[in-house]
Amino acid sequence: MRVLVVGSGGREHALCWAIAASPLCDKLYCAPGNPGIAASAECVPLAAEDTASLIAFAVSQKIDFVVVGPEGPLVAGLVDKLNAAGIKAFGPNASAARIEGSKGFMKDLLSANKIPTAWYARFTDAKAAKDYVRAKGAPIVVKADGLAAGKGVILCQSLGEAEAAIDSMINDKVFGVAGLELVIEEFMLGEEVSYFALVDGTSVLPFGTAQDHKAVGDGDKGPNTGGMGAYSPAPIVDKAMDERILREIIHPTVRGMAAAGAPFKGILFAGLMICKDGPKVIEFNARFGDPECQTLMMRLKSDILPALIATADGQLATFDLRWKDEVCIVVVMAAKGYPGNYIKGTLIEGLDDAARVEGAFVFHAGTKADTKDGKPIITAHGGRVLGIAATGKTVSEAKRIAYQAVDKVRWPEGFCRRDIGWRAIAREKSNG
Ligand code: AMP
Ligand code: GLY
């Protein structure tokens, strides 16, 4: 079978790495891919947003199955257009991708189906929004309705901050049209978890849990990022919690989407807050998490490709997956300055040494292949640049191996958090 993966991040590297290992895959392409992906797939220089070119490529190359990584193309309807061209694809159609693409849609869906989440209200008028935050008090959360590259959520500790956030979105349009409508919601306290399930429209196949590290700095300090590291599974989700999440959140969401005429097919990624009174939805994503996906693919024992195809075919009901009895951790290396401004083009060395560390794997994200004095080199080309993953019997063991590999990378203009896994390791220590 001929497969095309769309995207260029660490998530897509993990997907390509796993799909390339499938005996069902005869030929794997990735658009646009990255230098790490090039080891598993033939990279084609088409942007993930360039729908027309992707369709033309898939048709001309007789692609049997397309796996869409990022949310942008899903929300823009890439899967609808591929299906219309007769090509099978993994991922929700545009209507179902609204679960990520519109926070207002998502909150209304949760509310209509009595699924636990933060209380909220939707606004397009700045004055009404400010009256609401004054009535509710701080802390409170102000969110842009649409996709804002992970930056559209402002956790406001004071009323002043909340009013400034409302002004910046509605009056100053800092997120363009994505921020012309707001969701204002309760500030929830608890432990965050990323919960994944393959969904084929009606059936649900749990696909594991992970914990991300959103803040840029050690101790969870500094601004939020796309994710600076993760581990899987999340120890807080024991069997009882897993059953509760499925019963109270995942199944009602899947039923609610079908009832709303937007059955969800793909990977449903629930960002949850485990609060004192139970799990609550922070948000839904219509795609794999990055860097969570890297940890899931490292732990998966079964062939991924039949599972993705069964999802697209509506055949998950009888499907099962096997997982390694190991934990995985991934440490993200980013360009200094990220999530703010950073420079591109800096030289990264030592990647082969890092890859040789037993139990470690180097995932590429924002890297670029270049030449210097006629020799191939790798340079940094984005904010999040590498994900160094490792597996082990415990998070402590996996962490030691991952940082051993991180320390082989010679990249003075890069940085990483040194405390990835701290929460799980504290639990391991307290459990002896
Ligand atoms: P989101 O883009 O919706 O995932 O939000 C980014 C991050 O903001 C989340 O991962 C949480 O850490 C935090 N967050 C979002 N909404 C809330 C909320 N209602 N209460 C507390 N923290 C939140
Ligand atoms: N790591 C969080 C996300 O992919 O949204």
CA 362 to chain centre: 18
Q: Which of 136, 153, 191, 284 to mutate to test the pocket of ligand 1 (most atoms within 8 A of CB)?
A: 153
Please give the pLDDT value at position 332. 98
Alpha helices in 338-383 (DSSP H): 351-355
| H-run or E-run covering 145 | none
Distance CA 355, CA 307 (A): 28
Alpha helices in 113-245 (DSSP H): 126-136, 159-166, 239-245
Strand ranges, E, within 118-220: 120-123, 140-144, 153-156, 182-186, 191-200, 204-212, 215-217
Closest ligand 2 atom number to CA of residue 293: 4
Contact 30, 94 (CB under 8 A): no
- Report which protein residue has its CA nearest ligand 2's atom 5: 289
Contact 250, 195 (CB under 8 A): yes
Q: How many residues comprise the chain?
A: 432
Contacts of 206 (CB under 8 A, 6+ apart): 196, 197, 242, 246, 250
Please give the pLDDT value at position 315. 97
61 CA distance to ligand 2 centroid (A)? 31
Which of the 8 DSSP states describes residue 371? Answer: E
Within 6 A (CB) of ligand 2 lie: 212, 226-227, 285, 289-290, 292
Tens digits of residue pLDDT in 328-369: 999 999 999 999 999 999 999 999 999 999 999 999 999 999
Would you call 418 helix, strand, or coil by DSSP?
A: coil
pTM over 0.85: yes
Query: Can you tell me which residue has the tokens 């909150």?
Result: 107
Q: In the chain, which residues have pLDDT < 50?
A: none
Tens digits of residue pLDDT in 108-121: 999 999 999 999 99
Please give the pLDDT value at position 17. 98
Q: Which backbone phi and psi does 294 adopt, to 5 degrees?
A: -60, -40
Q: Which of 269, 293, 417 to mutate to test the pocket of ligand 2 (most atoms within 8 A of CB)?
A: 269
Please give the pLDDT value at position 178. 80
Sorted by where each begins, the domain ranges of the chain are: 2-93, 119-186, 191-313, 327-430
127 CA distance to ligand 2 centroid (A)? 32
Please give the pLDDT value at position 34. 98
Closest ligand 2 atom number to CA of residue 292: 1
Cα within 13 Å of Cα(342), Cβ side: 22
**CATH fold of 2-93:** Rossmann fold (3.40.50)
Q: Which of 106, 290, 384 to mutate to test the pocket of ligand 2 (most atoms within 8 A of CB)?
A: 290
* Measured CA distances, 261 to 99, 109, 171, 200, 309 (Å): 13, 12, 34, 14, 22
CATH number belonging to domain 327-430: 3.90.600.10
74 CA distance to ligand 1 centroid (A)? 22
Within 6 A (CB) of ligand 1 lie: 118, 141, 150, 153, 155, 185-188, 192, 214, 224, 271, 282-283
CATH number belonging to domain 191-313: 3.30.470.20
116 CA distance to ligand 2 centroid (A)? 21
Please give the pLDDT value at position 180. 87
Give the CATH number of domain 119-186; options: 3.40.50.410, 3.30.1490.20, 1.10.10.10, 3.40.50.150: 3.30.1490.20
Please give the pLDDT value at position 204. 98
Please give the pLDDT value at position 431. 84
Contact 34, 5 (CB under 8 A): no
Q: Which of 365, 326, 327, 331 is nearest to 348 (CA)?
A: 365
Q: Which of 136, 155, 274 to mutate to test the pocket of ligand 1 (most atoms within 8 A of CB)?
A: 155
CA 37 to chain centre: 18
